[in-house]
Each structure stands twice: as structure tokens, then as C-alpha cells.
Amino acid sequence: MRILISALIALSLFVLSTVISHQYFHYQEPVLYQYVTEHYEEDCGTTNAVTAVLLNYRMYDTMFEVLILLTAIIGMKQFLPAPHELKDITKRRNLENK
Amino acid sequence: MENLLVPLHMLVLLPVGIGALTFFLPRKAYQAVMLLGSLFVTAAAVQLFITVRWGSEIIQFVAGWPEVVAIKLVADGISAPLVLLAAVFFTSAYIFSTRAGHMDKTFVFLFLMLESALFGIFLSGDLFNIYVVMELSMITIAILIMYKQEKQSVYDAMLYILMNFIAMAFMVMGIAYMYRLTGVLDLMVIEQRLAELPDPRAAVLPYSMIFTAVAVKAAMLPLFSWLPRAHGAPSAPSIVSAVLSGIQVKAGVYLLVRLSIVFSPVIDAQMLFLVLGFLTSVAGFLLAIAQKDIKLILAYHTISQVGLIIMGLNLGSDVAFWGGMYHIINHALFKGLLFLTAGVIIDTYGVRSVKEIRGVFRSMPVIGIAALAGVLGITGAPFFNGSISKYFIQEGIQGNWAEAGLYLINFGTILSFVKYSTILFGSPPRHLQKPRKDPFITVISLAFGAAIFSGGIFGSQAVSLVFGPQYSAAGAMGIEKISIFAATLALGVLVYRYGVLRIEGVLSGVRNFKYNFNQITVLISLFFVLLLGYSYITMG
Amino acid sequence: MEALEYFFRQLSISDLAVVLFFIGLYGAMTQRSIIKTIMSIGIMDVAAITFFMMSNFEQGARSPVTGTPPEQMADPVPQALMITAIVIGVSVVAMCLAMYMRVVFRYGTADWNILIRRLED
Amino acid sequence: MKHENDLPEQSLILEVVIGFLYPFMLLLGFFIIVNGHHTPGGGFQGGSVLAALFIARYVIFPYNTMDSEKMHAFQRIFLALILLTPMLLLFTGFITRNPEFRSVYLLIMNILIGLQVGLELGVAILRFAFFEGVGKTWKL
């Protein structure tokens, strides 16, 4: 019963969004695409437009994304403690239980 | 624009830069360098606020690329005060816990990264950049709420991350539709292009996808079950809970405001968010009354206050809008203070439940006074800043059903904080050891208490100073308001004594009821369907 | 029937991505075990990324490298943004799996309902 | 040097083949990183190839000898550099003013991001691998 309801919800969502997106879709002028493809060579000096967007035009995003990578690793160190880190955790827990 | 002490992108990345650079300093030196760094960031935020408040709004294209391509950083009337609030709040929270045990290098690095993520959200003017920075703040919070290894309840962090992960998937889908529709990623350019749309129904799908993600972030009615466990988690240090409830929830509300401005030419769902804000507020204080753990009472109550803020922002009247913005600042002050003092109380008493903690006034007078100032502020007692912002929101309503709703929310707030303040009175247990004298804790909590009190006394001047429009708040101090507050307080004490204490069975049932993850996902999809249907129909 | 046939002829690859997105949502709604929930949300994320990649898609567009005339180039902006989105998806899934291992070793179960019951005692 | 959570002894074929492939993986990783501005995204793909090095090393020698603390410290150095170089070069408009530094800037950024991603995925995999035994014994 539970699976039927969620299947129904997912199906109706899919039909709703495809019908709405197909019926009302309207393409406006992709200005960003035109600007990048024409100016990326003299602006950033790369032969590949994707690197130009990634490292020059939107470098601000890439910096945050590298920060996310580092945070994921710090999270890894917190959630999966190595053997030597575990010794002081259990020591503190025994200290607390006393 | 040029006289800025620090350009906008530098201001955002400065806290993380300080954190990364001081990682290599020896232990003794890095605490002082951190303090200097955060003071410098606060000075830059103050200078930014002054230039925006009395000058024009600042728009800065990162790396000088032309308007269409570059990521735009915008500091205008709404975001500059919030940046200042975040900077002051993080610095005082950092000073508050200089003596605390868990302040090692990784914790401070994550703390500063959360600060720069918040600056990033407040200042960003680019749709995809908002997504990346929300993601960064989500992961940083997931680690910070689990920081105390020994008392770790991994279930809360798992629930938090999975719910926000679904919201982020909806957000990417919404941005994809947005990019296909308008071909541009910048918020202001999107706003202009949405106005030119021949048929506004095309923007319904991206609107509902993006706003489902923002609703999860701002903890709207059905989707707030992640917030209390994340903010009140036993393994979360007290300054983390204070910062989360003080500023992080406001980032969700700020995004709600910013994105509804972007979508304003096409879709106007103010009535829907007004109703949802009211329902969130009512659900918030009902659940807050049922809790036993003092941190969970505060965390559930954050939901009710955020619902009130969303109500104020979506009332459509200017007075209520600036009242809601002022309430964001007030709520950051008193909820932050309450969480900080609750952390100290739990450390000295060692117990978390409301029933066992008694006599905070006698054992820790300073913490008791600060907590009392917080309680008076949040319940909207006259001469405290809560009453000013609630008075402005009430002025905006004037007579439709929402005014009665506001009284109900005030009564609920008073009821839940009558339950919370039972820990202040009575006599402390004998075996309680004297808490060590910590000058930083006393200074910061008294400073917050003074800010709450002065925010109340000079309410209308504070609103005009921070946001600009001048509204007279004389009515808030009037006899009529004082009598209403006293009556509700007395009613609250009576209802608590005879009502709440009686129905303990119902309360414990409400307390232990937990949604499992599948029901939460069904709620998210139903919220998405509700938003889709509502915006499709009101398009008309 | 004719409308239905017309509707189906209009479906493109990006609608396939939308199908995948809602299959992931369905998976998140019904799966009992935590690891399958993480997988289905991962599917949702990947589907959203595919959908974003398919924007501005024309038949026969060439890769955006020097030498191809600007009109024939494929759109570089979604490709660059999706590199960021994929890396974010990887980090979040890695965090979820780290927490999943912690939950399994601590509570001994991977099922949402049993986990909730074990939380109370 | 038996550790309490190591895997059984590896097969000889695996060791010889991976030993032979090791330098070529390194070469391919740096090749992708260095001419990042020809291939899309440069640093990220090259970094993940470098991460394959750590897995290969773990498969051959499954003892917890690689100190992830030191690798994490390297990561922070690269992070500080990644934050600093664009702030000093790109955002101040130095690149747009004199264009001859553009390819040098791209090269630096690609190498930094590539090493960062490579170290990151390597540390992540080693963390997962060595937690397996630890979780059971300590009953977290």
C-alpha cells in the first residue's frame, strides 16, 4: 500500500512536470553561451572553452567547490576515526562515565 | 565603491583564508591570530554596512568580467545588515568560547568556513553560486553538529544531510530549468528576462523546484523535522547551536526573500507563504512545549520564531516587512544568548532535562540574568526588542485573521518560555560544584543582554539606523501593550500550572514521535506538488 | 490516441533525465535500508546533472575547442557547472557513506525503523 | 609487520602488474593535469587518476603505513595556495591587464587543483579502507 502511494506520487509528479515543461517552454536568447563561445580565446588564452569558464569566468565557484572537497575530508576524519584517534575518544568517554 | 576596505569577494574568502593560514601556527599563537582576524573581518563588515546604508548599494563583478558572464556580488539594503549581524555574532561566539575544551584547530577552521559560507550566501547574486555555497554550509554544519565524539548521535546528522541532499537535487533541477528558460545565471538579469516572458506559466516549474529547496533550508511547515535535532544535538557544542539558530536559519529566510524578489514579475505566492509561516509557527511552539531537553525546547522554538518572521515578510505591507527584518536581528540576539547560556548551564549541571535543573539564579547569577533578558526579549515583554518587532508586524496586519493568529503565537511563545524559565528559580542542588569564573562568558552574555534591552528602548531608532524607514514604535511601550503582555503572561502561568503539567502522557507521546525517512520524502514531494499547483492556479 | 502519439514523439533525452529524477525520488520514498536511500538520492542528483547538461542541445554540435566556428560549438557553460556539481555530489555521497558505516557499527542495523526503535533505549 | 586490521597476503600477479603500471599511472595523471587547458577541466580528471595511485598502493601493500595526517596537511597547503593565487592574480585584474601571464596562471591553477583532488580522493579511500577493521573491534 505504501509503495503504491509513493509510486503514484512519483508518476504524477513526472507527468505534471513534463506536460508543463513541454506545453509552456519558450527559449530565450542564450546570451551567456554566445558571449563565452566568442570571447573565451582572447579573454583566457585557453584552447578549451570549458576550462575558460571553469578557471577564469567562474573561478569564484571553483574556489568554493575546492573548499567543499576539503570539508568532506575533514568530515571523513571525524566520522571514521583511525585507531590512534580512537584511544583518546574512549579514554574521554570512560573519564566522563566515572 | 572603491573606498571599500576589503572588496566583496575578499570579505567572503577572508575568514577561510585566515583559518587556512593559521593552521600552520603553533597552538599558543593561533588563538590570538584568530581573534585579530575575526575582529578585522568585523571591521570590514561594519565599513561595508556604512557605505551601503548611507551610500548606494554595491555591485561587484568578480575579476572584472562584463555583466553577463561574471559572477555578481551584491550588497544592498537587505544583505548588508545581515552580513554585519553574522560577523558580529561569529566574533562574539568565538570570544565566548575561548576557554572551552573543544576549541582545537579543525573546529575553528570549520567555524570560520561556516562564517565565510554565510557571507557567500548573503552577498551572492548568482543562482548557481547560491547552490554551491548552500552545499558548503550544509556539509560544514553536518560535521560541526557531530563534533563532540563521545556523545555522538549519528542519526541526527544522517537525517540532516539526507534531507538537505534531496533539497539540493531539487535545486539543481530548478537551476537547470532556469538556465534552459532564460539562458543566463545572474539573478538581476533573470529578473529582467522573466518580465519579458510571453507566457508566465513557463516559470512555474523552476519556481516550485527552487522554492522546495529553499523551504527545506528555511524549515517551513512539513519540512522542519531536521532542524531541532540538528540544532539541539547533544554532540553539538553550544556555540554551534547558537550560531545555527541565530544566523544559519536566517540564510534560508534571506534566500526566500531574495528569490521571491527575482520571481516577483512572474509569480506572487505571498498568501501561500503567509499561511505556511503561520502554520509553522503554531507547530513550532506546540512541539516546543512537549520537549523535556532544554536545548530541544529552544531548537523547536526557533521554528516558531522563523515562521513568525516568514509571516511578517510575506504580509505585503512595508511596516511588517521591515518588522520581520528587524525580528531576524532580534531573534539572532536573544536565541543566540539563550543557546549560549543553556550550554553553560548544561556543562555545570551535567543534566539536560528541564525538570532536574533548578536555581540557576542562585548558582550562576550572571548567566541567570542574561537568560532572563533573553526570555523577556523572546516573549516580547515591553521595553525589550522582541516587542518592537512584533509590534511592527502587528501594525502590518491590522484586522484580518492574521492578527488573531499573532496573539496565538505570542501566547504559545510565553507558554513555552514559562516552561523554560522554571530552571531559573528555586534552589540549586547541594552537590553542585562552583562553576569556574570565566570572564569571557560573563562579558559576552551581558553584552548580548544589554543589546536586547537597548534594542527595545531605542526600537524605532534602531530600525531606521539599520534599515532606513522611520516608523514610530511609541505604541509598543504604551499602557495598552503592557497590560496585554501582563494578561497573557498570567494566563500562560495558569495554563502551564494546570494544563501542561496535567497532560504529561500526551506530551511524551508527541516527544517520542519521529518521522522515518520515507515519510519525510513523501512530505517533500507533497510540498512540491502544493507549490506547483498553487503557482499554476494563481497564474490564472 | 493521436495526441498521445504526438506527445510521445516530442519526448527527448532530457525527459529521460526527468524520468530518472523521479525514479530516484520514488526510491528515496520507499526504500527501507539506509544504503539504498543514499543510492536513490545519488540517482536523483545524477539525473539533475544530466538534465542540466542537455540544455542548449543541438544535433551535430561540435566540442567547444578552438578551430570550430562559434555557432557550431556545444554550450560550454553547463559542462563547466556540472563538473562542480558532480564533485559536490561525490563529496556529499562520501559523507553519507562515512555516516552510514558509523551508524551500522554503532547500532548494528541499516534499517530506518529498527534504527529509530534502537535510538530510544 | 602485521597490523590488526590488514587484509590477507596479496597475489603475486597483482603485485607485479600493478608494480609495472605504477609509473604509467603517474605519467598519465600528470599529463592530464598539465595540459588541462586543452582537455576540459584539467585539474579534476587528472586528480582522480592520481587517486588511482593510492588505491594501487593500498591493494599491493594493505598496511596502514601511509600517514593520512601528513597528506591532509599537504592538502591544506594546496588549499591556501588555491585561495591565494586567484585572489592575487585574477581578481585584481592582473591577468586581464597583461595577457602573457594567462597560460602560466592556468597551468599553476590546474596543477594545484589536480594535486588537491588527487590527495583528497586518496585520503578518503584510505580512511574508508582502514575503518573496516577498527569499527568492529572498538564497537563505536
Tell whether the model's pLDDT for residue B150 goes beyond 70.
no
Q: Scanning every residue of chain C, which has its alpha carbon at the shortest distance from the alpha carbon of D128?
A: C98
Tell whether the model's pLDDT for residue B268 goes beyond 80.
yes
What is the rounded distance in angstroms from the CA atom of residue D70 to the CA atom of residue D57? 17
B219-228, B430-439, B491-500: which range is least confident on average? B430-439
Q: Which residues contact B443 (CB under 8 A, 6 or more apart)?
A: B95
In chain B, DSSP finds a helix count (H) and a strand count (E) of: 23, 2
* Residue C79 contacts A, CB cutoff 8 Å: yes
Contact (CB<8Å) D140/C79: no
Q: Cell 502587528: give the residue.
A: B394
| Residues on chain C bordering chain D, Cβ-to-Cβ distance under 8 angstroms | 65, 79-80, 83, 87, 94, 97-98, 101-102, 104-106
The pLDDT value recorded for residue B536 is: 87
B40-54, B102-116, C41-55, D53-67: which range is least confident on average? D53-67
Phi, psi of B293 (to 5 degrees): -75, 130
Taking residues C16-39, report their average pLDDT: 92
pLDDT band at B151 (very low <50, low <70, confident <90, very high): low
Q: Scanning every residue of chain C, which has its alpha carbon at the shortest distance from the alpha carbon of D136?
A: C105
Taking residues B207-229, report their average pLDDT: 88
The pLDDT value recorded for residue C94 is: 92
Q: Which domain holds residue C31?
A: 11-56+71-118
What is the rounded distance in angstroms from the CA atom of residue B185 to the CA atom of residue B129? 9
Tell whether the model's pLDDT for residue B230 goes beyond 90.
no
The pLDDT value recorded for residue C48 is: 94
Contact (CB<8Å) A76/D109: no
pLDDT band at B211 (very low <50, low <70, confident <90, very high): very high
In a domain, C41, yes or no: yes
Contact (CB<8Å) D124/C65: no
Q: Scanning every residue of chain C, which has its alpha carbon at the shortest distance from the alpha carbon of A17?
A: C18
The pLDDT value recorded for residue C64 is: 83
Look at residue B350 and give its three-state secondary structure.
coil
Facing residues of B74 across strands? B59
pLDDT band at B9 (very low <50, low <70, confident <90, very high): confident
B524-533, C76-85, D118-127: which range is least confident on average? D118-127
Tell whether the model's pLDDT for residue D1 goes beyond 60.
no
What is the rounded distance in angstroms from the CA atom of residue B323 to the CA atom of residue B314? 11
* Residue A66 contacts D, CB cutoff 8 Å: yes
The pLDDT value recorded for residue B163 is: 92
Q: How many inter-chain contacts (C to D, CB under 8 Å) are there?
A: 25
Contact (CB<8Å) A65/C87: yes
Taking contacts as CB-CB distances below 8 angstroms, the residues of chain D near C104 are: 135
Work out whether strand B72-75 and strand B58-61 pair parallel, antiparallel, or are unpaired: antiparallel
Which of B8, B13, B130, B127 has the alpha carbon at shortest distance from B59? B8
Of residues B41 and B511, more confidently modeled: B41
Contact (CB<8Å) D128/C97: yes
In a domain, C4, yes or no: no
Q: What is the mean pLDDT of chain C?
A: 87
Q: State what percent of residues in chain D have pLDDT above 90.
A: 6
Instruction: Indicate the helix (H) or strand (E) that contains B423.
Output: none
Contact (CB<8Å) A13/B202: no
The pLDDT value recorded for residue D7 is: 52
pLDDT band at D10 (very low <50, low <70, confident <90, very high): low
B124 DSSP assignment:
B
Of residues B4 and B291, more confidently modeled: B291
pLDDT band at B139 (very low <50, low <70, confident <90, very high): very high
Tell whether the model's pLDDT for residue B2 goes beyond 60.
no
The pLDDT value recorded for residue B40 is: 92
The pLDDT value recorded for residue B540 is: 57
Tell whether the model's pLDDT for residue C39 goes beyond 90.
yes
pLDDT tens profile B309-337: 998 888 888 888 888 888 998 899 889 99
The pLDDT value recorded for residue A68 is: 93
Global pTM reads: 0.92
The pLDDT value recorded for residue B135 is: 93
pLDDT tens profile B48-67: 998 888 888 888 888 778 88
Taking contacts as CB-CB distances below 8 angstroms, the residues of chain B near A20 are: 201, 204-205, 532, 536
The pLDDT value recorded for residue B215 is: 92
Q: Residue D14: CA atoms inside 13 Å, Cβ hemisphere, count?
A: 11
The pLDDT value recorded for residue A64 is: 92
* Residue D79 contacts B, CB cutoff 8 Å: yes
Contact (CB<8Å) A58/C80: yes
The pLDDT value recorded for residue B476 is: 67
What is the rounded distance in angstroms from the CA atom of residue B116 to the CA atom of residue D40? 29
Residues D131 and A80 sit within 8 Å (Cβ to Cβ): yes
Contact (CB<8Å) B512/C120: yes
Facing residues of B59 across strands? B74
Taking residues D66-79, report their average pLDDT: 80
The pLDDT value recorded for residue B231 is: 84
With contact defined as 3+ CB pairs under 8 Å, the chains touching D are A, B, C
Taking residues B120-146, report their average pLDDT: 92
Phi, psi of C68 (to 5 degrees): -85, 140
Residues B14 and D91 sit within 8 Å (Cβ to Cβ): no
Tell whether the model's pLDDT for residue D35 goes beyond 60.
yes
Q: What is the mean pLDDT of chain B?
A: 85
Contact (CB<8Å) B169/C44: yes
Taking contacts as CB-CB distances below 8 angstroms, the residues of chain C near A50 are: 64, 76, 79-80, 83
Which of D134, D129, D135, D126 has the alpha carbon at shortest distance from D4? D134
Q: How do the domains of chain D map onto residue ranges?
A: 12-129
Hey, what's the cell of B460? 524605532
Look at residue B517 and give its three-state secondary structure.
helix
Tell whether the model's pLDDT for residue A89 goes beyond 70.
no
Q: State what percent of residues in chain A have pLDDT above 90.
A: 8
Tell whether the model's pLDDT for residue B513 goes beyond 90.
no
Phi, psi of B536 (to 5 degrees): -70, -40
What is the rounded distance in angstroms from the CA atom of residue B392 to the CA atom of residue B374? 20
The pLDDT value recorded for residue B164 is: 93
Facing residues of B58 across strands? B75
Q: Count structural domains, chain C.
A: 1
Tell whether the model's pLDDT for residue B77 goes beyond 60.
yes
Q: How far is A94 from chain C (nearest CA, A)?
A: 17
Taking contacts as CB-CB distances below 8 angstroms, the residues of chain B near C44 are: 166, 169
Which of B520, B159, B171 has the alpha carbon at shortest distance from C38? B159
pLDDT tens profile B97-131: 877 766 788 888 899 999 999 999 999 989 999 99
Which residue in the set B16, B62, B64 is minimally distant from D83, CB to CB? B16
User: Helix axis angle, B401-420 relative to B365-379, nearest 10°?
Assistant: 170
Tell whether the model's pLDDT for residue B414 goes beyond 60.
yes
Instruction: Indicate the helix (H) or strand (E) that contains B72.
Output: strand B72-75
Of residues C7 and B276, more confidently modeled: B276
Residue type, A42: E
pLDDT tens profile C61-110: 888 888 888 888 888 899 899 999 999 999 999 999 988 888 888 788 88
Residues B64 and D96 sit within 8 Å (Cβ to Cβ): yes
pLDDT tens profile B390-412: 888 888 777 677 778 888 888 88
Contact (CB<8Å) B62/A60: yes
CATH of the domain at C90: 1.10.287.3510
pLDDT tens profile A8-54: 888 999 888 888 888 777 777 888 888 888 888 887 878 888 888 88
What is the rounded distance in angstroms from the CA atom of residue D68 to the CA atom of residue B189? 46
Of residues B142 and B484, more confidently modeled: B142
Contact (CB<8Å) A20/B68: no
Tell whether the model's pLDDT for residue B424 goes beyond 60.
yes
Taking contacts as CB-CB distances below 8 angstroms, the residues of chain C near A34 are: 70
The pLDDT value recorded for residue A95 is: 66
Q: State what percent of residues in chain B have pLDDT above 90.
A: 20
